[in-house]
Structure 1
Amino acid sequence: MKTKRISKGLMVLAAGCAFHAPAMAGGLERGGYNIDLLFDEGRFAGESAVTYVNPQRKLKNVRDVDTTTAFPVPTGAGGGNLNGLSDSVDDTEGYWVPRIGAKAAVNDAVDCMFDYSEPWGAHTKPGRDWAGANENIETKVESHNYAATCSYKFDVGPGQLRLIGGAFYQEVYGFKERLVQDFAGFPVPLSGVGRLDLEGDGWGWRAGVAYEIPEYAFRASLVYNSEVKLDDITGTLDLSQVNPTLYPAAFDVHGAQDMPDVVELKVQSGIAPGWLAFGSVKWTDWSQLQKIPFCTAAVTGTCTTANGVTTLDLGYRDGWTVTGGVGHKFNEQWSGAVSVTWDRGTSQGFGTQTDTWTFGAGASYTPNQNVEVRLAGAIGILTGGSSSTVTLDGETYGQRVNYEFDDDLVAAISTSVKVRF
Structure 2
Amino acid sequence: MASRRFSKGVTSLVLFSSLASPSFAGGLERGGYNIDQLFDTSPFSFQSGVTYVTPQRKLKDVRDTETSLSSGGNLNSRPNSADETSNYTIPYIGFKAGFGDAVDCLVDYSEPFGAHTDPGSNWAGANNNIETEIKTRNYGGTCSYRFDVGPGQLRFIGGAFYQEVEGFKERLVSTVPLLFGTGTGVGRLDLDDSGWGWRAGLAYEIPEYAMRASLVYNSRVKYDNLTGTVDLRQVPVVPMFGGQVTPVFGSAEAPDSLELKLQSGIAPDWLAFGSVKWTNWSVLQSVPFCPTSTKGVVACKSGGSTELTSLDLLYQDGWTISGGVGHKFNDQWSGAVSLTWDRGTSQGYGAQTDSWTVGLGAAYTPTEHIEWRVAGAVGVLTSGSSGVMTRNGVTFGDDVSYSFGNDLVAALSTSLKVKF
Interval containing the TM-score (normalised by the shorter chain): over 0.9
> C-alpha offsets along residues 127-177 of structure 1, whole Å, 9 cap, x if unaligned?
011000000000000010000000000000110000000000000100000
Structure 1 residues not aligned, in runs of 5+ = 71-77
What's the counterpart of residue 345 of structure 1? 344
Residue matched to 1:336: 335
1:241-276 superposed Cα distances (whole Å, 9 cap, x missing partner): 111685333110000111100100000000000000
Q: Where in structure 2 are the equivalents of 1:312-323 lying within 5 Å?
A: 312-323=311-322
Distance in 1 (CA, whole Å) between partners of 2:393 and 2:22 is 31
Aligned partners of 1:183 and 1:191 also within 8 Å: no
Identical columns (%): 61
Give 1:304's match in structure 2, choosing from 293, 301, 304.
301
Deviation at 1:299, TM superposition (A): 1.5
Q: Is the CA contact 2:104–2:143 (under 8 Å) kept in the aligned structure 1?
A: yes
2:264 aligned partner = 269
Q: Is the 8 A contact 1:100 1:116 kept in 2?
A: yes
Indicate which of 168, 176, 196 corresponds to 1:175.
168
Which residue number corresponds to residue 33 of structure 1? Answer: 33
Deviation at 1:8, TM superposition (A): 3.0
Structure 2 partner of 1:217: 210
Q: Which whole-Å CA distance do the structure 1 matches of 2:2 and 2:340 have between them?
A: 32
Distance (Å, rounded) in 2 between the aligned partners of 1:342 and 1:373: 27
Unmatched 5+ stretches in structure 2: none
- 1:183-222 mapped onto 2 (5 Å cutoff): 183=176, 186-222=179-215
Looking at structure 2, the residues matched to 90 and 142 of structure 1 have their Cα atoms a distance apart, in angstroms, of: 20
Name the structure 2 match of 1:75. none
Q: Tell whether the 8 Å contact from 2:2 to 2:208 is kept in structure 1 after alignment.
A: no
Contact conserved, 2:350 with 2:386, CA < 8 A, in 1?
yes
The match for 1:230 is 223
1:146 correspondence with 2:146: no
Say whether the 8 Å CA contact 1:282–1:321 is kept in structure 2.
Answer: yes
Aligned residue identity for 1:287 = S
User: Tell me, what secondary structure is at the counterpart of 1:203?
Assistant: strand
Q: Which residue of 1 aligns with 2:66?
A: 66
- SS of the residue corresponding to residue 295 of structure 1 reads strand
Change in Cα spacing, 1:56 to 1:405, as seen in structure 2 (3 Å) is same
Under a length normalisation based on structure 2, what TM-score does the superposition of the two structures give?
Answer: 0.96
Distance (Å, rounded) in 1 between the aligned partners of 2:187 and 2:90: 29
Could you say which residue in structure 2 is the equivalent of 1:286? 281
Distance (whole Å) between structure 2 residues aligned to residue 410 and residue 136 of structure 1: 22
| Counterpart amino acid of residue 41 in structure 1 | T
The AA in structure 1 aligned to 2:146 is K
Cα separation, 1, equivalents of 2:52 and 2:109: 17
Using the TM superposition, give the Cα deviation of residue 3 of structure 1 relative to its aligned residue in structure 2, in angstroms. 4.0
Query: Secondary structure of 2:179's match?
Result: coil
State how far apart, in whole Å, the 2-side matches of 1:263 and 1:174 are: 26
Q: Is the 8 A contact 1:11 1:218 kept in 2?
A: no
Cα 1:255–1:88 change in 2 (3 A) is same
SS at match of 2:282: helix
**8 Å Cα contact 1:25/1:343 also seen in 2:** yes
**Residue of structure 1 in register with 2:250 after alignment:** 255
Cα distance, 1:185 vs structure 2: 6.5
Amino acid in the other structure paired with 1:141? I
Deviation of residue 116 (structure 1)? 0.2
- Partner of residue 96, structure 1: 89
Is the counterpart of residue 370 in structure 1 residue 365 in structure 2? Answer: no
Matched, 1:387 2:386: yes
- Number of the residue aligned with 2:46: 46
Instruction: For residue 105 of structure 1, report the CA deviation from its aligned partner.
Output: 0.5
Give the secondary-structure state (helix, strand or coil) at the position aligned to 1:12. Answer: helix
The TM-score normalised by the length of structure 1 is 0.96
**1-side partners of 2:243 and 2:84: how far apart?**
31
1:78-115 per-position Cα deviation (integer Å, ceiling 9, x unaligned): 22100000001101000000000000002210000000
Q: CA separation in 1, counterparts of 2:252 and 2:3?
A: 50
For the residue of structure 1 that corresponds to 2:180, the secondary structure is coil
Question: Which amino acid in the other structure matches residue 292 of structure 1?
Answer: V
Show the counterpart of 1:74. Answer: none
| Residues 215-256 of structure 1: per-residue CA shift (max 9 Å, x gap) | 110000000000000000010000111116853331100001
CA–CA separation in structure 1 for the residues paired with 2:96 and 2:175: 54
CA positional deviation for 1:2: 9.1
CA distance in 1 between partners of 2:11 and 2:147 (Å): 18
Partner Cα distance (1:20, 1:317) in 2 = 23
Conserved 8 A contact 1:293-1:303 = yes
Per the TM alignment, residue 9 of structure 1 is displaced from its structure 2 partner at its CA by 1.8
Pairing partner for 2:124 from 127, 131, 148? 131
SS at match of 2:175: coil
Alignment check: 8 A CA contact 2:182 2:236 kept = no
1:318/1:346 contact within 8 Å kept: yes
**SS of residue paired to 2:69:** coil
How far apart, CA to CA, are the structure 1 residues paired with 2:178 and 2:365? 64
Partners of 1:248 and 1:295 lie apart in 2 by 17
